[in-house]
Amino acid sequence: MGIFRVGKRQQGMKTNRFFSHHTLACLLGLGLTVPTPAFSADGLTGPALNRLNQQVERAVSRQIERQLDKASERLPESALPAAPATPPELPARLAIQSDTGLELFADVEVEDGWRAVERQWLVTVNASDTHHFNQPGITVIDQTPMAGLGLTVLRFRVSPGLDSRDQLQELLPKALAQRVDRNHIYRPETDASNHQGPSTTDEPPSCPVPVSIGMVDTAVETDHPAFAGTTVVQRDFLQDLHLADSYHAPTDHGTAVASRLAGKTSANAATRLPSATLFSASVFYGQPASVSGATLLHLVEGLAWLESNDVTLINVSMAGPDNRVLATVIKRLIDRGTPVVAAVGNEGPAAPVLYPAGYPEVIGVTAVNQHRKIYRWANRGEQVDFAAPGVDVAVALTDGQYGSQSGTSLAAPVVSAQLACALASTSLENALAQLTRRADDLGDQGRDPVFGYGLLPDTH
């Protein structure tokens, strides 16, 4: 894994930005506002710095998009990538209900525009830590042991007055507070639009050797013809919640990803990994208008279950914020020899790093189109390790159909399948070296923030 550690940001750390007065003057020229009380001898401090960071990101993103739009005007319409379908905007508070109408939890907006379970926090604990949570304003909900990872995750709910990191840092011992984070909600990284239509491509299997692959995603439609030649073992991590019909586990995203990972992507295609066993951790709840989410607790429970099944690697085609608990679980997986391949995200070239692809141990994958051009909406940065086809690619759709979709979610399983096949006969270090040699170096010479080490063609 050594070649993938160079250049990636350190785990769990945010980019450290320092704004001098000269830099601020330049930013003011972009129309950004800086309140005078925010200045200190060292530059900007506190919430004002966070607000300015967000203004800078939005301003840069707007400028890049304007340049892309100008360039697009010079291209024929047929050459332009379609914009991803815009999901409906969620309310500030969305109640997730059981089949009896009981509110199970609320999906709410929190800091920096992320979503999380309302007033729920997670922390990795030892037996000696738990007494610190027996105090006013904190209610322990449960503890989840993850024996295979040597971790226990404690979930707790706080009163409104304690619902911030600053308040919890004042209340808890420093070493414990550094392990606390919100029960964030993560999203799939695929364009929500489907294009139906059979493929006439007759493709050979990618890899005939037995492999065991894990994926954490939405549920997979296991009775789809795409998986007639694939062994799928699936576990639903929300089954005990007895969700209302409108929040039942969705199957569209997971089915598409699984077809790219180990199944068939068209009626005429061969099974990609005919000797594979695919372990699927279903961790998403559905939402109105087909917007789905996975809580961090369910996500890490799924990852721990996959590890307990001794999978060769884990594919994660979802993304969200940096999180201390997620970072800890990912590091434990890597330390135990289970590689993680993740989609880098579809938020655009100027968007901040998304996770888990942003962690240095994770293999981050971006998407290209059939002309080997980068997917316009793909995230860019040091987290990109490889590129793979992911724009208007063939996938299995729900209800037994086939069609096409776009997104970095659909590029990641291509890399996962090739890596899993290589791992059947060699070490992880050698397998990654093989993929690097196989990759077509696109963009700037050597590794770059757009294509990583280059494009891994989909030979299937």
β-strand partners of 403: 196, 395
Joined tokens for residue 254? 């997971």
Query: How far, in Å, CA of 135 to CA of 148, rounded?
Result: 30
Catalytic residue from among 107, 181, 217, 392: 217
β-strand partners of 40: 43
Lay out the sheet containing 195-196: strands in order across.
195-196, 402-405, 393-396
Catalytic residue from among 191, 409, 416, 458: 409
β-strand partners of 355: 320
Query: How far, in Å, CA of 442 to CA of 220, rounded?
Result: 33
Q: 195-226 burial, b for 16+ CB within 10 Å, e for fewer? A: eeeebeeebeebbeeebbbbbbbbbbbbebeb
Are 314 and 279 spatial neighbours (Cβ–Cβ below 8 Å)?
no
Quick one: CA torsion of 2, 342, 311, 283, rounded to 10 degrees?
A: 150
Query: How far, in Å, CA of 343 to CA of 364, rounded?
Result: 6
Half-sphere exposure (Cβ direction) of 389: Cα atoms closer than 13 Å: 16
Catalytic residue from among 224, 253, 298, 460: 253
Query: How far, in Å, CA of 259 to CA of 237, rounded?
Result: 21
Q: Is there a catalytic annotation at residue 308?
A: no
- DSSP-H helix ranges across 262-341: 296-308, 324-335
Query: How far, in Å, CA of 201 to CA of 281, rounded?
Result: 30
49 CB-contact burial (10 Å; exposed 0-12 / middle 13-18 / buried 19+): middle
β-strand partners of 43: 40
Query: How far, in Å, CA of 268 to CA of 222, rounded?
Result: 18
Phi/psi at 113 (5° precision): 80, 5
Query: How far, in Å, CA of 451 to CA of 386, rounded?
Result: 6
For residue 241, the tally of other CB atoms under 10 A from its CB is 19
| Spatial CB neighbours of 125, under 8 Å, sequence gap ≥ 6 | 143, 152, 153, 154, 176, 179
Q: Is there a catalytic annotation at residue 259?
A: no
Q: Is there a catalytic annotation at residue 371?
A: no
Query: How far, in Å, CA of 252 to CA of 250, rounded?
Result: 6
Active site residues: 217, 253, 409
